[in-house]
Amino acid sequence: MFIHYVKILLRNLYKKKIYSFVNMTGLAIGIASFILIMLFVVDELGYDRHHSRADRIYRLCMVYDFGGVGENSASQPFPVAFTLKDEYPDMVQNIVRIFNFQSTRNFIEYGDLKFIEKRFFFADSTFFEIFDHEFIAGNAKTALDEPNSVVITESIAGKYFRDEDPLGKIIDFESGLHLKVTGIIKDVPEQSHFIFDFIGSMGSVKNMFRGRLPDTWVWNPCWTYLLLSEGASVEQLELQLPEFTEKFFFDAQKESITLYTQPLTDIHLRSKLDYEIQPNSNITYIGILIIIAVFILIIASINFMNLATATSGTRAREIGIRKVTGAYRSQLIGQFLGESLFLTLISMILAFILVEIVMPVFNGFTGKDLEINSLFTLPNFFLVLILWLVVGIFSGLYPAFFLSAFKPISVLRGMIGSEVRRGTGRKILVVFQFTVTIALLVGTLVIFSQLKYVGNTDLGFNKDNIVLLPVNRTAMADLEVYTSFKNELLQNPDILSVTAMDDIIGAAHNTHEFRPEGVPEDEWHFFPALVIRHDFVKTFEIEIVSGRDYSEDFKTDAANSVLINEAMVKHLGWRSNLDALGRKFRSLAGDERVIGVFKDFHATSLHEASGPFVLNIKERPIEIRYFIRYVAIKIGHGDPGKTLAFIRQKWNDFEDVRPFDYSFLDDELSGLYEDEKNLGMLSLVFTLIIMFIAALGLFGLASFMAEKRTKEISIRKVMGASIIHIFMLLSGEFVKLILIATFIAWPLSYFLIDEFFLNQFYQRVPLNVWIFIMSGLFALIIALIITSYRAITASHTNPAESLKYE
């Protein structure tokens, strides 16, 4: 019986080559896309799960909230970690702090080798007791025990030491700290929210701070991870945190601080806090991708159903005869489901080949290292098997029940059920396919227009032609060197302005303590602020709306003055910008006053609202050393290569150790939307694939319809119908379906894109009606091209022949 079924299946496939091709190609592409997306999704969902205690590791985070202004921080003050462990020894089995001097550019030397390293961290010796990292050399238990020791990864070992044995060798950190290599570990897996190349011991940090780690409960630069005791519940620990805050944080802060924990495995997809170690992904975007994957599969399956039922006429006789000769309906259902499973199997094999072929490209633009082999390991193989059964049965179920329901007497007399002729079910499926296609197209276009919007939005400052130099712990940290460097640079007519700041404007900032007029004497409020040097307002073309900018003419400015934005004026309830001028705005440096109010600018990515903000020049040498981390240079429209060469030359004049390193501000800012760019690219590619599959299905269907109506077309031609008439006749129906799909897709996509994508942004692109119109039109044009090809070939048939044949 089985061989018999295979035989008839293969002969049918061969006979209906176009449909077989459409069926299998569409399904293969659909399955391949599904597999690729799911490999990506599974990879994203698997972050940080390689740590054997991942389910018990939590990160301690904190919210500072001063009437809606403040921060939601991923990191903690130094003393928090071990105080917490001492306070709750039953619940907290272990704890570790990770610290990087708040700098992602560290200068490392070994012999003649000098590199700027971005992933250099320091951690407590408990680090390897909490996180699993495989040691190639050295001892995990003791590697971070001693001050001035460092554990490096395999790649770093190769980069610095080549054939030498790195153990015991000394590398220089920032030309001051000599660190002995005490361990080599395998490279940190890509699936980590925290990837490092170096981990120095916390004892080394202690040495840098002259023997004592900072004991302030205000400054919060330490990422703090705790290992929950076995059997302890994190909810219970959370219940203790208010009491802990009350007991240890100082009085003025207590009211405004909330500590909370975050499961390690949630960080990559669900955490978007201030001061993340590295940018995370977004679970919503993963959800969008899963939805796209499922829709691709459904749409490819729909092709299968549509073609199977549309071509059912040609198999009706077979069904009738089988029934007459005694086939039970269940046997026919079995036969058709079997066919569908068989075709799905072939498509899956094709899909695997496709995946293997496009994997390098896919990895290239997602930045992942996915492998198809992972599908054939045991748990995944079952999933693949389930995928086969689900797709095979889902695609085959409707045709199986539909075909097996044919009444033998009707089909044998050539009367196929009215359903086949009307094809209501098929029309619904086509509408569904195109609804999804158009909605996805709208979604993709919105993603891209939001990205464009983000790039073009007036941020309230000018980000163009700004060169950034990281200057942390370089010679520039000295005010005199900095001033000379600046003056030298300004000699070049193509350098328009030079300033400095503690964080990259538009990307990041810290919060600082202030006590504006009206706040009680014992309270500090933490406000987002940038610490800057002179000419900041000029360099970034920030608009002063009231008062004045800092000026070097007023020697007291640096110590006594701050600039605040309009949102701050509102936040503090001051009557007007003018009213704000001259008001007290105390900082840790002493009594300061507001000398100017500037127009609000976007201090962080457009995901978030811009709120109250302070610009403040610091004056004390230690502050300058710490807070001047970036020099920003506004260059003119001359040859940027020449200007950069000039800057490099000047840099080398003032800084003899640190190599020259620079970036452009607009590049840094566009990096804030990496996640959305990825999503946009993925959704573009897969939307095009969905369109292709849907178009393929339409092509098959249109071919079939044209074939089916050969006689009708011939009679019409005999009666005098023109080619245009025939074209309208055949394409008209599909046009109607696409229009219906368009009208369903519009409100649907409007709602979904708002709910799932634009809501991620505070600054959102206004939805342009053209996006909707274009999407519908595009689908319509594609449908017209496909159906018209068939319509035109059909309208050229010679009526004499087809009528004679009939």
**Which residues here bind another protein, judged by CB under 8 A?**
1, 4, 7-8, 11-12, 15, 317-318, 320-329, 331, 407-409, 412-413
Instruction: Pick between residue 7 and residue 247 the one whose CB is nearest to another protein.
Output: 7
Residue 116, H or E segment: strand 113-117
Count, in order, helices (H) and strands (E) of the chain: 29, 24
Instruction: Pick between residue 325 and residue 373 the one whose CB is nearest to another protein.
Output: 325
Q: CA 321, CA 522: separation in Å to the nearest integer?
A: 94
Instruction: Pick between residue 329 and residue 716 the one whose CB is nearest to another protein.
Output: 329
CB atoms within 10 A of CB 384: 15
Instruction: Pick between residue 16 and residue 463 the one whose CB is nearest to another protein.
Output: 16
Burial grade of 770 (CB within 10 A; 0-12, 13-18, 19 or more): exposed
Write down the least CB distance from residue 8 to another protein, Å: 5
Instruction: Pick between residue 189 and residue 408 the one whose CB is nearest to another protein.
Output: 408
Write down the least CB distance from residue 2 to another protein, Å: 11
E strands within 461-560? 466-470, 495-501, 510-516, 525-532, 544-547
Write down the least CB distance from residue 9 to another protein, Å: 9
CB atoms within 10 A of CB 591: 11
Instruction: Pick between residue 4 and residue 575 the one whose CB is nearest to another protein.
Output: 4
Contact 503, 529 (CB under 8 A): no
Instruction: Pick between residue 329 and residue 584 the one whose CB is nearest to another protein.
Output: 329
Instruction: Pick between residue 301 and residue 404 the one whose CB is nearest to another protein.
Output: 404
Q: At what angle do helices 283-310 and 312-324 cross, to 10 degrees?
A: 60
Tell me how far CA of residue 148 lies from CA of 156, 201, 391, in angstroms.
18, 6, 59
Write down the least CB distance from residue 422 to another protein, Å: 14
Write down the least CB distance from residue 317 to another protein, Å: 6
Instruction: Pick between residue 406 and residue 540 the one whose CB is nearest to another protein.
Output: 406
In 3-state terms, what secondary structure has residue 692? helix
Pick the closest to residue 311 from 19, 9, 27 (CA basis): 19
- Token pair in block for residue 115: 């590199």
Write down the least CB distance from residue 22 to another protein, Å: 19
CA atoms within 13 A on the CB side of 98: 24
The full DSSP string for 248-304 is HS-HHHHTTEEEEEEEGGGHHHH---BT-SS----HHHHHHHHHHHHHHHHHHHHHH
- Token pair in block for residue 92: 């907290």
Instruction: Pick between residue 316 and residue 370 the one whose CB is nearest to another protein.
Output: 316
Write down the least CB distance from residue 339 to another protein, Å: 12
Residue 234, H or E segment: helix 234-248
Contact 650, 605 (CB under 8 A): no
Q: CA 676, CA 670: separation in Å to the nearest integer?
A: 10
Write down the least CB distance from residue 308 to another protein, Å: 15
Write down the least CB distance from residue 330 to another protein, Å: 8
Instruction: Pick between residue 321 and residue 588 the one whose CB is nearest to another protein.
Output: 321
Write down the least CB distance from residue 409 to another protein, Å: 5
Write down the least CB distance from residue 347 to another protein, Å: 21
Contact 579, 590 (CB under 8 A): no
Contact 327, 7 (CB under 8 A): no
Instruction: Pick between residue 331 and residue 663 the one whose CB is nearest to another protein.
Output: 331
Burial grade of 276 (CB within 10 A; 0-12, 13-18, 19 or more): middle
Instruction: Pick between residue 270 and residue 317 the one whose CB is nearest to another protein.
Output: 317
Write down the least CB distance from residue 12 to another protein, Å: 6
Write down the least CB distance from residue 324 to another protein, Å: 5
Q: At what angle do helices 674-708 and 283-310 cross, to 10 degrees?
A: 10
Q: Write the single-letter amino acid at 359.
A: M
What letter would DSSP give residue 759?
Answer: G
The full DSSP string for 135-184 is EEEE-TTTTTTSTTEEEEEHHHHHHHHTTS--TT-EEEETTTEEEEEEEE
Write down the least CB distance from residue 43 to another protein, Å: 45
Instruction: Pick between residue 390 and residue 405 the one whose CB is nearest to another protein.
Output: 405
Contact 434, 784 (CB under 8 A): no
Residue 539, H or E segment: helix 536-539
Instruction: Pick between residue 135 and residue 342 the one whose CB is nearest to another protein.
Output: 342
Write down the least CB distance from residue 279 to another protein, Å: 58
Backbone region of residue 547 per phi and psi (left: phi > 0; alpha: psi in -120 to 50; beta: other values): left
CB atoms within 10 A of CB 418: 10
Write down the least CB distance from residue 4 to another protein, Å: 6
Q: CA 309, CA 425: separation in Å to the nearest integer?
A: 9
Write down the least CB distance from residue 414 to another protein, Å: 8
Instruction: Pick between residue 12 and residue 103 the one whose CB is nearest to another protein.
Output: 12
Residue 494, φ and ψ in degrees, nearest 5? -90, 5
Pick the closest to residue 539 from 512, 578, 506, 582 (CA basis): 506
Backbone region of residue 394 per phi and psi (left: phi > 0; alpha: psi in -120 to 50; beta: other values): alpha
Instruction: Pick between residue 241 and residue 411 the one whose CB is nearest to another protein.
Output: 411
